[in-house]
Amino acid sequence: MGIVQVRGWARVPAWTAGVGAIVLSISAHKELRFLYPLVHPLLIGYAGVALRMMRSAHRRRWIIVLVATNAVAAAYLSLVHQRAPLALMATMRRNISLGLVRHLDVLTRCHQTPGFAQLHSPIILTYLHCPPPLAKALSFPASHGDGNSGSADSDGGSDRRYSASISSPGQPLFASTSQLAHRYPKAAAGCANDCDCFFSTPGPAVAQRYREDWWRLWRPGSWQRHSPLPSHVALFDELYHLPQVQRTLRRRGYVVADRFFHEVVWAGSGHRWPRWRVRQLVLLTRETR
């Protein structure tokens, strides 16, 4: 409304923001934070113009409506939306303090779940690697290339002490195409890293990952058998509800220990109304047999 009411040069910032938004939208790498400094100040400015031109009674009503709707949105986005990874880590910290956690395996996509920055504990943490394509062309020391490590009594500094890999013994963090094909024989052709290959065919990937002889722990000088499977697994509900994934995990003795609200997502259109579903992060624990 404010943009419609202004004239002349006052519309130039709006056109500038529009062109900038179009250019940023063309790029393959899109992040909403790039639009915030470009669009939001203009929206606030033009909204102020529209409010100033309203009658006093109408202005008060609109201010109340704007404050109320923005307060609700701010509260939801700040306190509820996509908080499952942080809630998971808080639960894991409590369980670790009780001595209930030995090994957490995180089956989420890249950067969806924090790691030791939230745990602050010397447990085994494994996850799906997704290094950028450029990383394969870089040269790394051998101590960082295998991406595998062990427990708190391992040598080699804090990085090796508190990091772990999803790879089987000796497989590097930056796996080659042939190594990925061996690790994920049923994955889609051309998948670039562990994460992409895993989620291209998650059912067979989970079955391959949770073999009894899969998990081994690095010890100075050799690879030795540690506990065969993780004590805890974290994954989103859409992955857990796949029949083959759920069947494999149940066969290995995993049961649901907790569920964490993450977000409300679009689930398609019904006959008359849109359908939504609640997305959850599921924490599994392995029952001792």
Question: Where in the chain are the domains?
Answer: 2-79, 84-286
- Does position 281 have pLDDT exceeding 50, yes or no? yes
Contact 170, 229 (CB under 8 A): no
- DSSP H or E stretch at residue 88: helix 84-97
Q: Can you tell me the mean pLDDT for 239-249?
A: 95
- Does position 249 have pLDDT exceeding 90, yes or no? yes
- 118 Cβ contact list (under 8 Å, min separation 6): 86, 89, 93
Q: Can you tell me the mean pLDDT for 92-108?
A: 92
Instruction: Look up residue 5 and give its two tokens.
Output: 């009411």
- Does position 18 have pLDDT exceeding 60, yes or no? yes
pTM of structure: 0.71
Q: Can you tell me the mean pLDDT for 79-101?
A: 93
pLDDT in tens, 56-79: 778 888 888 889 998 999 999 999
pLDDT confidence of 149, banded at 50, 70, 90? Answer: very low
Length of the chain: 289
**What is the full DSSP assignment across 146-207?**
S-----TT-SSHHHHHT---SSPTT--SS--HHHHHHH-TTSPTT--SHHHHHHHSHHHHHH
Distance CA(228)–CA(208), nearest Å, equals 13
Distance CA(89)–CA(151), nearest Å, equals 19
> What are the strands, taking DSSP E only, across the chain?
103-107, 124-127, 216-219, 222-225, 232-236, 254-269, 274-286
Name which of 21-25, 207-211, 253-257 the model is least confident about: 21-25
Name which of 37-46, 215-224, 234-243, 252-261 the model is least confident about: 215-224
Name which of 145-149, 209-213, 278-282 the model is least confident about: 145-149
Structure-model confidence comparison of residues 22 and 262, the more confident one: 262
- Does position 122 have pLDDT exceeding 60, yes or no? yes
Q: Is 136 exposed, middle or buried (0-12, 13-18, 19+ CB in 10 A)?
A: middle
pLDDT confidence of 170, banded at 50, 70, 90? Answer: very low
Q: Can you tell me the mean pLDDT for 103-117?
A: 88
- Does position 182 have pLDDT exceeding 50, yes or no? yes
- Does position 40 have pLDDT exceeding 70, yes or no? no
